[in-house]
Chains A and B, each alone.
Chain A
Amino acid sequence: MDGIHDMGGMYGFGKVEAEPDEPVFHEKWEGRAFAMTRAISYTGVWPIDRSRFAQEKLPPEVYLSVSYYKRWELGLEKNLVDLGLVGDDEIRQGHALRPGKALARKLKPADVPGSLTRGSFSRPPQAAALFKPGDRVRTKNLHVETHTRLPRYARNRVGVIEAIRGCHVFPDTVAIGAGEDPQWLYTVLFDGRELWGESSDPTLTVSIEAFEPYLEAA
């Protein structure tokens, strides 16, 4: 969706401010919110792109004004409520008012080391790859209202396929419960001037990781 999360190329956010000796979590609740999200994700109730989409749907003023882990917490609440796993009333009360649903699995302390390994997003292809390294492609001018991983700054732009990264779960469908619909994934390289015009830094190239449905031959 064309939301506030899609920030590439925007002006006005100011300088990047790095914090020396930054702690992993600034407050205890950040660690709890993070770990809760991990634990719920381990149960397999929803894929990671559904978590991303929940945050993208936050009102822009909320997205920009709350801290990072508060966004996680808000997204977690939204998905839990939307999927009927937790009621709004329960969150307000701070207690379960009804029994929980049966979930496929539950993260136990002994599972944690193994759960630090990311799962694979590779899936068997549904068809042969349309493009190969060196091919010129144009990104489509897509403006879907739901989750997508084609950033605005790189739409309707001509680039070159640099690498095929395999066939992966398609975020656009899996985020909305429409199945994994595996798609070929490519690294597509753009010249800075193609993205930013003549005033671009002439030494700049930018790549995105683009799923095949985002691309057409150019």
Chain B
Amino acid sequence: MAHDHDHHHDDDHQHGSELSEMQLRVRALETVLIEKGYIDPAALDAVIEAYETKVGPHIGAAIVAKAWTDPQFRKALIEDATKAVQSFGVINRVGDHLIAVENTPKQHNMIVCTLCSCYPWEVLGLPPVWYKSAPYRSRAVSEPRGVLADFGVTLPKDTQIRVWDSTAETRFIVLPMRPEGTEGWSADKLAALVTRDSMIGTGLPKSPGEVA
């Protein structure tokens, strides 16, 4: 294919129309690294498979649902999320420095990394494109209500908005409020209400009617 530099559309930048060029470039680098003895391509396959099929927001959702149904776990999660989540045993072992921040009727929490893309991979998987994008990183700290509006979320005017900028190796997960009308639900059933965005703070959990 002839070189075609006509790929400067905004959408393409997010989704990679550098496909052919990048496919070749990445393949070339991978070949060099294999030949140098630095990497094993089968290990790359395993890494990709893990993030495509094993590690994802379902882990965070199970943690949140457990916190909604087990007050002792909720307390342990807020006190030391790294420790609480490890004892919960969702995956082998969650790395250090995980912090759970709790939404209340008075305060809504939102997570961002203005400097790069820090995100709690072990409990939410890899971040979506929007989380790593300039619009989110620039506006989350200065006009979070505008960002929430982009997600179709409106909070009461007097709700305090707390934004956590992930500028170090600490990682944050939002513990959203349990939706009304879910009394007596099991943790499994509740987990279906917990969206990824509700654990970043750009969304709210689904209401019972949305999963009926």
Which A residues are within 8 Å of any B CB, using their own CB? 5-19, 22, 24-36, 38-40, 43, 52, 55, 64-70, 73, 76-77, 80, 85-86, 90-91, 93-96, 99-101, 103, 106-109, 111-122, 149-151, 153-154, 165-166, 168-169, 171, 185, 187, 195-196, 200-201, 203-211
Among B35, B44, B197, contact of A35 (Cβ-Cβ < 8 Å): B44
**B122→A118 contact, CB < 8 A:** yes
**A117→B39 contact, CB < 8 A:** no
Instruction: Given A52-B116, A85-B38, A165-B168, answer yes or no on A67-B13 (Cβ-Cβ < 8 Å).
Output: yes
Cβ contacts A to B, 7 pairs, < 8 Å: A11-B138, A13-B138, A28-B23, A40-B33, A117-B94, A149-B115, A204-B163
Docked CA distance A111–B43 (Å): 8
Closest partner residue, chain B, to A19 (CB atom): B129
* Number of A-B pairs, beta carbon distance below 8 Å: 294
**A109→B141 contact, CB < 8 A:** no
B186 beta carbon closer than 8 Å to chain A: no
Closest partner residue, chain A, to B95 (CB atom): A118
**B115→A5 contact, CB < 8 A:** yes
Docked CA distance A100–B34 (Å): 9
**Size bracket of the B interface:** 35 or more
**A96→B35 contact, CB < 8 A:** yes
Docked CA distance A117–B55 (Å): 11
**B116→A32 contact, CB < 8 A:** no
Docked CA distance A206–B157 (Å): 17
**B125→A201 contact, CB < 8 A:** no
A residues near B116, Cβ cutoff 8 Å: 5, 52, 55
**A36→B39 contact, CB < 8 A:** yes
Which B residues are within 8 Å of any A CB, using their own CB? 8, 13-16, 18-19, 22-23, 25-33, 35-40, 42-48, 50-52, 55-56, 91-97, 112, 114-117, 121-122, 125-126, 128-130, 132-145, 147, 150-151, 157-170, 197, 202
Among A85, A149, A166, contact of B36 (Cβ-Cβ < 8 Å): A85
**A16→B39 contact, CB < 8 A:** no
B residues near A168, Cβ cutoff 8 Å: 168-169
Docked CA distance A171–B116 (Å): 13
**A106→B23 contact, CB < 8 A:** no
Docked CA distance A17–B14 (Å): 10
Closest partner residue, chain A, to B162 (CB atom): A205
B residues near A34, Cβ cutoff 8 Å: 47-48, 51, 126
- Shortest distance in angstroms between B120's beta carbon and chain A's nearest beta carbon? 9
